[in-house]
Amino acid sequence: MKLSLGFSPCPNDTFIFDALINKKIDTEDFDFDVMLEDVQTLNEWAIRGKLDVSKISYGVLPLVLTNYMVLNSGGALEEIEMVLQELLFMKTVLPII
């Protein structure tokens, strides 16, 4: 099965996707038609549902959840999520004066 895959040409993304697109890992029956684009273009394409798999900005996520799902890996929001969870915890246990 061939899937369209979009990610940015920044060094972080090319490193992350290297093994996948260059067959350094077993992708079973999956092949990828790779499109390197800037994140804004990828966001716009995701809103239109152009690609099968795409990197997007987290701000666009609510706009594409009807057509896409978030993978368990590949996100850069983990540190932010931890901070937000800590802030939420603080807000719920500290009295607001």
The pLDDT tens digits of the residues spanning 16-56 come to: 889 989 989 888 888 999 999 999 999 999 999 999 999 99
Which CATH number fits the domain that encloses residue 26?
Answer: 3.40.190.10
pLDDT band of 81, cuts 50, 70, 90: low
pLDDT band of 13, cuts 50, 70, 90: confident
pLDDT at residue 6, rounded to an integer: 94
Question: What span, in angstroms and rounded, lies between the C-alpha atoms of 97 and 83?
Answer: 22
Within 1-97, residue ranges assigned H as helices are 11-21, 39-48, 61-64, 78-93
Using DSSP, state whether 21 is helix, strand or coil: helix
Q: Where in the sequence is the domain holding 43, given as residue range(s)?
A: 2-71
- Residue 13 lies inside a defined structural domain of this protein: yes
- Residue 80 lies inside a defined structural domain of this protein: no
The residue ranking higher by pLDDT, 52 or 81, is: 52
Question: What span, in angstroms and rounded, lies between the C-alpha atoms of 61 and 39?
Answer: 13
Using DSSP, state whether 38 is helix, strand or coil: coil
pLDDT at residue 73, rounded to an integer: 65
Q: What are phi and psi of 2, to 5 degrees?
A: -105, 125
pLDDT at residue 27, rounded to an integer: 87
pLDDT at residue 71, rounded to an integer: 76
- Residue 51 lies inside a defined structural domain of this protein: yes
Total domains, the chain: 1
- Residue 10 lies inside a defined structural domain of this protein: yes
- Residue 63 lies inside a defined structural domain of this protein: yes
